[in-house]
Amino acid sequence: MPSPRRLLSFEFVSLCLIAFLAIANGTAYYNLFGHLAELGVPAGLRGLVVGAYALVAMVLYLVASPFLTTRRAPRAMLAGIAILVAGGLSFLVVRSFWGLLLLRAFCGAGGFLLGAGATALLVGVIPPDRSGEAFGIYSVAILAAYGIVPAGMDLLVPHLPGVATGYALAGLVLLPAVGLVLALRRRIEPTPAGPGEAGHLPSRSDLRASLSAPRLLLVLGIGVTYFTNWSSLYYLFKEFATERGLRNVGAFFSALTAVMIGIRLLAGRLFDRFDKARLAAFSFGMIALGHLALATLPIGMAPLIGAFFGLGLGAGYPALNGLMFELSEPRFRPQNANLMMFGVQLGSFLGPAVGGALVASFGYPGYFRGSIILALASAGLSLLLVRASS
Protein backbone atom coordinates (compact mmCIF):
# COMPACT_ATOMS: atom_id res chain seq x y z
CA MET A 1 0.00 0.00 0.00
CA PRO A 2 1.58 3.36 -1.01
CA SER A 3 2.32 5.96 1.64
CA PRO A 4 -0.74 8.20 2.21
CA ARG A 5 -0.44 11.90 1.45
CA ARG A 6 -3.59 13.32 3.07
CA LEU A 7 -4.30 13.07 6.81
CA LEU A 8 -8.06 13.68 6.82
CA SER A 9 -8.82 10.92 4.36
CA PHE A 10 -11.94 8.75 4.39
CA GLU A 11 -9.88 5.97 5.95
CA PHE A 12 -8.48 8.09 8.76
CA VAL A 13 -11.80 9.74 9.63
CA SER A 14 -13.54 6.34 9.56
CA LEU A 15 -10.99 4.89 11.99
CA CYS A 16 -11.50 7.89 14.29
CA LEU A 17 -15.26 7.22 14.26
CA ILE A 18 -14.69 3.53 14.96
CA ALA A 19 -12.40 4.44 17.87
CA PHE A 20 -15.08 6.75 19.26
CA LEU A 21 -17.73 4.01 19.06
CA ALA A 22 -15.39 1.42 20.58
CA ILE A 23 -14.47 3.63 23.54
CA ALA A 24 -18.11 4.66 23.92
CA ASN A 25 -18.95 0.99 24.33
CA GLY A 26 -16.25 0.55 26.97
CA THR A 27 -17.02 3.68 28.98
CA ALA A 28 -20.72 2.75 29.17
CA TYR A 29 -19.62 0.29 31.88
CA TYR A 30 -18.30 3.06 34.15
CA ASN A 31 -21.09 2.24 36.65
CA LEU A 32 -20.46 -1.51 36.63
CA PHE A 33 -19.35 -1.54 40.29
CA GLY A 34 -22.82 -0.35 41.33
CA HIS A 35 -24.56 -2.86 39.07
CA LEU A 36 -22.51 -5.70 40.55
CA ALA A 37 -23.52 -4.56 44.04
CA GLU A 38 -27.18 -4.66 43.00
CA LEU A 39 -26.68 -8.22 41.76
CA GLY A 40 -25.21 -9.26 45.10
CA VAL A 41 -21.61 -9.81 43.99
CA PRO A 42 -19.40 -9.59 47.12
CA ALA A 43 -17.47 -6.34 47.45
CA GLY A 44 -14.12 -8.12 47.40
CA LEU A 45 -14.89 -9.76 44.05
CA ARG A 46 -16.32 -6.81 42.15
CA GLY A 47 -12.92 -5.43 41.20
CA LEU A 48 -11.99 -8.80 39.74
CA VAL A 49 -15.03 -8.74 37.48
CA VAL A 50 -14.39 -5.15 36.38
CA GLY A 51 -10.67 -5.77 35.82
CA ALA A 52 -11.13 -8.98 33.82
CA TYR A 53 -11.74 -6.91 30.67
CA ALA A 54 -8.43 -5.01 30.92
CA LEU A 55 -6.47 -8.09 32.01
CA VAL A 56 -7.54 -10.15 28.98
CA ALA A 57 -7.01 -7.21 26.62
CA MET A 58 -3.55 -6.57 28.09
CA VAL A 59 -2.43 -10.17 27.59
CA LEU A 60 -3.77 -10.26 24.04
CA TYR A 61 -2.10 -6.98 23.11
CA LEU A 62 1.19 -8.47 24.23
CA VAL A 63 0.98 -11.91 22.63
CA ALA A 64 -1.44 -11.57 19.70
CA SER A 65 -1.08 -8.06 18.27
CA PRO A 66 2.00 -8.94 16.13
CA PHE A 67 -0.23 -11.25 14.09
CA LEU A 68 -2.84 -8.58 13.29
CA THR A 69 -1.56 -7.45 9.91
CA THR A 70 -3.41 -4.99 7.71
CA ARG A 71 -4.76 -7.96 5.78
CA ARG A 72 -6.23 -9.60 8.88
CA ALA A 73 -7.33 -6.46 10.72
CA PRO A 74 -10.80 -5.96 9.15
CA ARG A 75 -11.83 -9.55 9.95
CA ALA A 76 -10.57 -9.12 13.51
CA MET A 77 -12.54 -5.87 13.88
CA LEU A 78 -15.76 -7.49 12.66
CA ALA A 79 -15.24 -10.36 15.10
CA GLY A 80 -14.60 -7.84 17.88
CA ILE A 81 -17.82 -5.97 17.12
CA ALA A 82 -19.79 -9.24 17.13
CA ILE A 83 -18.32 -10.19 20.52
CA LEU A 84 -19.01 -6.79 22.08
CA VAL A 85 -22.60 -6.70 20.79
CA ALA A 86 -23.23 -10.23 22.07
CA GLY A 87 -21.54 -9.37 25.35
CA GLY A 88 -23.68 -6.29 25.90
CA LEU A 89 -26.87 -8.23 25.24
CA SER A 90 -25.71 -11.01 27.57
CA PHE A 91 -25.72 -8.63 30.53
CA LEU A 92 -29.52 -8.83 30.33
CA VAL A 93 -29.44 -12.46 31.46
CA VAL A 94 -26.09 -13.16 33.18
CA ARG A 95 -26.26 -12.49 36.91
CA SER A 96 -23.85 -14.86 38.70
CA PHE A 97 -20.30 -13.98 39.72
CA TRP A 98 -18.64 -16.61 37.52
CA GLY A 99 -20.89 -15.81 34.61
CA LEU A 100 -20.13 -12.09 34.89
CA LEU A 101 -16.40 -12.77 35.24
CA LEU A 102 -16.34 -14.85 32.07
CA LEU A 103 -18.54 -12.32 30.30
CA ARG A 104 -16.15 -9.46 31.09
CA ALA A 105 -13.20 -11.57 29.91
CA PHE A 106 -15.14 -12.36 26.71
CA CYS A 107 -15.76 -8.65 26.15
CA GLY A 108 -12.08 -7.93 26.80
CA ALA A 109 -11.19 -10.22 23.89
CA GLY A 110 -13.69 -8.35 21.73
CA GLY A 111 -12.28 -5.00 22.77
CA PHE A 112 -8.80 -6.18 21.85
CA LEU A 113 -9.85 -7.42 18.40
CA LEU A 114 -11.62 -4.17 17.57
CA GLY A 115 -9.02 -1.82 19.05
CA ALA A 116 -5.93 -3.65 17.84
CA GLY A 117 -7.38 -4.12 14.37
CA ALA A 118 -8.15 -0.41 14.14
CA THR A 119 -4.62 0.48 15.26
CA ALA A 120 -3.08 -1.88 12.69
CA LEU A 121 -5.00 -0.09 9.94
CA LEU A 122 -4.37 3.36 11.39
CA VAL A 123 -0.61 3.26 10.98
CA GLY A 124 -1.08 2.49 7.29
CA VAL A 125 -3.18 5.59 6.57
CA ILE A 126 -1.05 8.14 8.45
CA PRO A 127 1.25 10.33 6.31
CA PRO A 128 4.79 9.66 7.56
CA ASP A 129 5.46 13.35 8.24
CA ARG A 130 2.23 13.93 10.23
CA SER A 131 2.26 11.11 12.78
CA GLY A 132 2.13 13.37 15.85
CA GLU A 133 -0.84 15.33 14.51
CA ALA A 134 -2.60 12.12 13.49
CA PHE A 135 -2.31 10.49 16.92
CA GLY A 136 -3.42 13.76 18.51
CA ILE A 137 -6.64 13.85 16.46
CA TYR A 138 -7.21 10.12 16.96
CA SER A 139 -6.93 10.54 20.72
CA VAL A 140 -9.51 13.35 20.65
CA ALA A 141 -12.07 10.81 19.40
CA ILE A 142 -11.22 8.70 22.44
CA LEU A 143 -11.40 11.63 24.87
CA ALA A 144 -14.75 12.69 23.41
CA ALA A 145 -16.23 9.29 24.27
CA TYR A 146 -14.99 9.60 27.85
CA GLY A 147 -16.56 13.03 28.10
CA ILE A 148 -19.93 12.21 26.53
CA VAL A 149 -20.91 8.65 27.43
CA PRO A 150 -20.92 8.63 31.27
CA ALA A 151 -23.04 11.78 31.38
CA GLY A 152 -25.34 10.38 28.69
CA MET A 153 -25.74 7.12 30.59
CA ASP A 154 -26.66 9.03 33.74
CA LEU A 155 -29.47 10.71 31.80
CA LEU A 156 -30.59 7.54 30.00
CA VAL A 157 -30.53 4.81 32.65
CA PRO A 158 -33.38 6.23 34.81
CA HIS A 159 -35.68 5.77 31.79
CA LEU A 160 -34.62 2.17 31.15
CA PRO A 161 -35.67 -1.08 32.86
CA GLY A 162 -32.21 -1.29 34.39
CA VAL A 163 -28.48 -0.68 33.99
CA ALA A 164 -28.10 -3.91 32.02
CA THR A 165 -30.36 -2.51 29.32
CA GLY A 166 -27.92 0.38 28.97
CA TYR A 167 -25.10 -2.11 28.43
CA ALA A 168 -27.14 -3.88 25.77
CA LEU A 169 -27.77 -0.56 23.99
CA ALA A 170 -24.06 0.25 24.23
CA GLY A 171 -23.38 -2.93 22.29
CA LEU A 172 -25.91 -2.07 19.61
CA VAL A 173 -24.29 1.37 19.20
CA LEU A 174 -21.36 -0.46 17.59
CA LEU A 175 -23.43 -1.76 14.67
CA PRO A 176 -22.77 1.31 12.45
CA ALA A 177 -19.08 0.47 12.74
CA VAL A 178 -19.73 -2.69 10.68
CA GLY A 179 -20.42 -0.60 7.58
CA LEU A 180 -17.29 1.45 8.15
CA VAL A 181 -15.13 -1.66 8.54
CA LEU A 182 -16.54 -3.20 5.37
CA ALA A 183 -15.81 0.02 3.48
CA LEU A 184 -12.28 0.10 4.90
CA ARG A 185 -11.70 -3.51 3.89
CA ARG A 186 -12.47 -2.62 0.27
CA ARG A 187 -10.27 0.47 0.31
CA ILE A 188 -7.32 -0.63 2.44
CA GLU A 189 -7.03 -4.36 1.70
CA PRO A 190 -3.38 -4.67 0.61
CA THR A 191 -2.24 -6.41 -2.51
CA PRO A 192 -0.32 -9.66 -2.03
CA ALA A 193 2.79 -8.66 -0.10
CA GLY A 194 6.30 -9.92 -0.30
CA PRO A 195 8.53 -10.60 2.70
CA GLY A 196 8.74 -7.63 5.04
CA GLU A 197 5.97 -5.61 3.32
CA ALA A 198 2.78 -4.38 4.98
CA GLY A 199 0.27 -7.16 5.35
CA HIS A 200 2.91 -9.93 5.45
CA LEU A 201 3.03 -11.88 8.71
CA PRO A 202 6.40 -11.21 10.41
CA SER A 203 8.62 -14.15 11.25
CA ARG A 204 9.67 -14.93 14.80
CA SER A 205 13.17 -13.65 14.10
CA ASP A 206 11.68 -10.40 12.77
CA LEU A 207 9.60 -10.01 15.92
CA ARG A 208 12.60 -10.62 18.16
CA ALA A 209 14.67 -8.14 16.17
CA SER A 210 12.00 -5.46 16.50
CA LEU A 211 11.38 -6.05 20.19
CA SER A 212 15.09 -6.15 21.03
CA ALA A 213 15.71 -2.61 19.74
CA PRO A 214 16.61 -0.64 22.92
CA ARG A 215 15.10 2.63 21.74
CA LEU A 216 11.73 1.02 20.99
CA LEU A 217 11.67 -0.73 24.36
CA LEU A 218 12.51 2.61 25.96
CA VAL A 219 9.59 4.33 24.21
CA LEU A 220 7.30 1.50 25.34
CA GLY A 221 8.52 1.78 28.93
CA ILE A 222 8.06 5.55 28.95
CA GLY A 223 4.55 5.06 27.57
CA VAL A 224 3.76 2.75 30.50
CA THR A 225 4.91 5.41 32.97
CA TYR A 226 2.79 8.05 31.20
CA PHE A 227 -0.39 6.01 31.65
CA THR A 228 0.62 4.96 35.16
CA ASN A 229 0.81 8.64 36.12
CA TRP A 230 -2.46 9.44 34.38
CA SER A 231 -4.52 6.51 35.64
CA SER A 232 -3.39 6.90 39.25
CA LEU A 233 -4.41 10.56 39.14
CA TYR A 234 -7.75 9.65 37.53
CA TYR A 235 -8.69 7.12 40.20
CA LEU A 236 -7.21 8.77 43.30
CA PHE A 237 -7.95 12.46 42.82
CA LYS A 238 -11.61 12.38 43.88
CA GLU A 239 -10.91 10.92 47.32
CA PHE A 240 -7.97 13.29 47.82
CA ALA A 241 -9.99 16.36 46.81
CA THR A 242 -13.01 15.33 48.89
CA GLU A 243 -10.81 14.93 51.96
CA ARG A 244 -9.48 18.44 51.36
CA GLY A 245 -12.99 19.86 51.12
CA LEU A 246 -13.32 20.48 47.38
CA ARG A 247 -17.00 20.45 46.47
CA ASN A 248 -16.87 20.44 42.69
CA VAL A 249 -14.40 17.64 41.99
CA GLY A 250 -15.57 17.41 38.37
CA ALA A 251 -14.24 20.89 37.61
CA PHE A 252 -10.67 19.55 37.85
CA PHE A 253 -11.26 16.89 35.21
CA SER A 254 -13.34 19.21 33.04
CA ALA A 255 -10.48 21.69 32.88
CA LEU A 256 -7.94 18.92 32.33
CA THR A 257 -9.92 17.30 29.50
CA ALA A 258 -10.72 20.62 27.81
CA VAL A 259 -7.05 21.59 27.67
CA MET A 260 -6.02 18.12 26.44
CA ILE A 261 -8.53 18.26 23.60
CA GLY A 262 -7.67 21.86 22.77
CA ILE A 263 -3.95 21.16 22.53
CA ARG A 264 -4.40 18.08 20.36
CA LEU A 265 -6.69 19.92 17.96
CA LEU A 266 -5.11 23.36 17.82
CA ALA A 267 -1.44 22.42 18.12
CA GLY A 268 -1.58 19.27 16.01
CA ARG A 269 1.01 20.29 13.40
CA LEU A 270 3.42 21.37 16.15
CA PHE A 271 3.72 17.74 17.24
CA ASP A 272 5.53 17.09 13.95
CA ARG A 273 7.58 20.28 13.78
CA PHE A 274 9.29 19.79 17.14
CA ASP A 275 11.38 16.86 18.30
CA LYS A 276 8.94 14.35 19.79
CA ALA A 277 11.39 13.13 22.42
CA ARG A 278 11.77 16.69 23.72
CA LEU A 279 7.97 17.08 23.68
CA ALA A 280 7.70 13.91 25.77
CA ALA A 281 10.24 15.29 28.25
CA PHE A 282 8.24 18.56 28.41
CA SER A 283 5.07 16.54 29.03
CA PHE A 284 6.56 14.69 32.00
CA GLY A 285 7.99 17.92 33.37
CA MET A 286 4.51 19.44 33.38
CA ILE A 287 3.08 16.30 35.01
CA ALA A 288 5.70 16.50 37.77
CA LEU A 289 4.89 20.18 38.38
CA GLY A 290 1.17 19.36 38.44
CA HIS A 291 1.65 16.79 41.20
CA LEU A 292 3.83 19.27 43.11
CA ALA A 293 1.07 21.89 42.79
CA LEU A 294 -1.57 19.49 44.13
CA ALA A 295 0.67 18.66 47.07
CA THR A 296 1.46 22.28 48.00
CA LEU A 297 -1.19 24.70 46.68
CA PRO A 298 -4.70 25.32 48.10
CA ILE A 299 -7.24 22.79 46.85
CA GLY A 300 -9.44 25.65 45.61
CA MET A 301 -6.94 26.05 42.77
CA ALA A 302 -7.75 22.54 41.49
CA PRO A 303 -9.36 23.67 38.19
CA LEU A 304 -6.27 25.75 37.36
CA ILE A 305 -4.01 22.83 38.29
CA GLY A 306 -6.20 20.58 36.15
CA ALA A 307 -5.56 22.85 33.16
CA PHE A 308 -1.84 22.62 33.93
CA PHE A 309 -2.03 18.81 33.94
CA GLY A 310 -3.95 18.99 30.66
CA LEU A 311 -1.00 20.81 29.09
CA GLY A 312 1.39 18.00 29.98
CA LEU A 313 -0.94 15.06 29.40
CA GLY A 314 -2.21 16.60 26.18
CA ALA A 315 1.27 16.68 24.65
CA GLY A 316 2.45 13.32 25.94
CA TYR A 317 0.21 10.88 24.08
CA PRO A 318 0.75 12.21 20.53
CA ALA A 319 4.48 12.66 21.16
CA LEU A 320 5.05 9.11 22.41
CA ASN A 321 2.90 7.40 19.80
CA GLY A 322 4.41 9.53 17.05
CA LEU A 323 7.88 8.67 18.34
CA MET A 324 7.13 4.94 18.24
CA PHE A 325 5.80 5.40 14.68
CA GLU A 326 8.91 7.27 13.52
CA LEU A 327 11.44 4.90 15.12
CA SER A 328 9.75 1.72 13.85
CA GLU A 329 10.47 0.13 10.51
CA PRO A 330 7.34 0.40 8.31
CA ARG A 331 6.75 -3.37 8.42
CA PHE A 332 6.71 -3.32 12.25
CA ARG A 333 4.51 -0.25 12.72
CA PRO A 334 1.21 -2.14 13.24
CA GLN A 335 2.86 -4.45 15.78
CA ASN A 336 4.62 -1.64 17.65
CA ALA A 337 1.58 0.64 17.68
CA ASN A 338 -0.36 -2.15 19.35
CA LEU A 339 2.47 -2.68 21.82
CA MET A 340 1.85 0.92 22.84
CA MET A 341 -1.77 -0.09 23.42
CA PHE A 342 -0.46 -2.87 25.66
CA GLY A 343 1.38 -0.10 27.50
CA VAL A 344 -1.93 1.72 27.94
CA GLN A 345 -3.50 -1.36 29.53
CA LEU A 346 -0.48 -2.06 31.74
CA GLY A 347 -0.23 1.55 32.88
CA SER A 348 -3.96 1.65 33.57
CA PHE A 349 -3.52 -1.42 35.78
CA LEU A 350 -0.38 -0.22 37.57
CA GLY A 351 -1.63 3.33 38.20
CA PRO A 352 -4.41 2.64 40.70
CA ALA A 353 -2.59 -0.41 42.13
CA VAL A 354 0.74 1.32 42.84
CA GLY A 355 -0.83 4.69 43.62
CA GLY A 356 -3.30 3.10 46.03
CA ALA A 357 -0.46 1.23 47.75
CA LEU A 358 1.50 4.47 48.15
CA VAL A 359 -1.51 6.23 49.67
CA ALA A 360 -2.16 3.31 52.02
CA SER A 361 1.47 3.25 53.21
CA PHE A 362 2.56 6.90 53.10
CA GLY A 363 -0.59 8.94 52.62
CA TYR A 364 -1.15 11.38 49.77
CA PRO A 365 2.18 13.18 50.40
CA GLY A 366 3.94 9.87 49.68
CA TYR A 367 1.83 9.34 46.57
CA PHE A 368 2.71 12.79 45.22
CA ARG A 369 6.41 12.29 45.92
CA GLY A 370 6.34 8.95 44.11
CA SER A 371 4.47 10.46 41.14
CA ILE A 372 6.92 13.37 40.89
CA ILE A 373 9.92 11.02 40.95
CA LEU A 374 8.34 8.78 38.27
CA ALA A 375 7.55 11.75 36.02
CA LEU A 376 11.02 13.29 36.37
CA ALA A 377 12.69 9.95 35.70
CA SER A 378 10.54 9.57 32.58
CA ALA A 379 11.50 13.07 31.45
CA GLY A 380 15.16 12.14 31.76
CA LEU A 381 14.66 8.90 29.84
CA SER A 382 12.81 10.82 27.12
CA LEU A 383 15.85 13.03 26.62
CA LEU A 384 17.93 9.92 25.96
CA LEU A 385 15.82 9.44 22.84
CA VAL A 386 16.54 12.89 21.39
CA ARG A 387 19.49 11.68 19.31
CA ALA A 388 17.61 8.55 18.15
CA SER A 389 14.69 10.60 16.83
CA SER A 390 16.84 13.28 15.16
Q: What is the mean pLDDT of each run of 10 residues along the chain (390 residues)?
A: 70 94 89 86 82 87 81 94 97 95 95 92 84 82 81 85 93 95 83 42 61 83 92 82 82 86 76 82 95 93 91 87 84 80 83 85 93 96 74
Give residue 191's pLDDT. 40
Give residue 136's pLDDT. 80
Are 116 and 64 in contact by the 8 Å Cβ rule? The answer is yes
Domains 10-201 and 210-389 share a fold: yes
Cα 347 to Cα 341: distance, rounded to the nearest angstrom: 10
Give residue 329's pLDDT. 82
Q: For helices 214-243 and 302-327, what crossing angle results, to 10°?
A: 170
Give residue 195's pLDDT. 36
Cα 221 to Cα 284: distance, rounded to the nearest angstrom: 13
Which amino acid is present at 359?
Answer: V
Cα 373 to Cα 367: distance, rounded to the nearest angstrom: 10
Q: Is the dihedral of CA 124, 127, 131, 137 positive or negative?
A: negative
SS3 breakdown of the chain: % helix, strand, coil, rounded to 5? Answer: 80, 0, 20
For the chain, the structural domain boundaries read 10-201, 210-389
- pTM assigned to the model: 0.76
**Any idea of the CA torsion for 17, 23, 26, 30, to the nearest 10 degrees?**
-130
Cα 327 to Cα 329: distance, rounded to the nearest angstrom: 7
Cα 324 to Cα 337: distance, rounded to the nearest angstrom: 7
Give residue 106's pLDDT. 96
Q: Does domain 210-389 have CATH number 3.40.50.150?
A: no
Which residues are CB-neighbours of 98 under 8 A, at least 6 positions away? none
Which CATH topology does 10-201 take?
Growth Hormone; Chain: A; (1.20.1250)
C-alpha 280 chain-centroid distance? 17
Cα 354 to Cα 71: distance, rounded to the nearest angstrom: 39
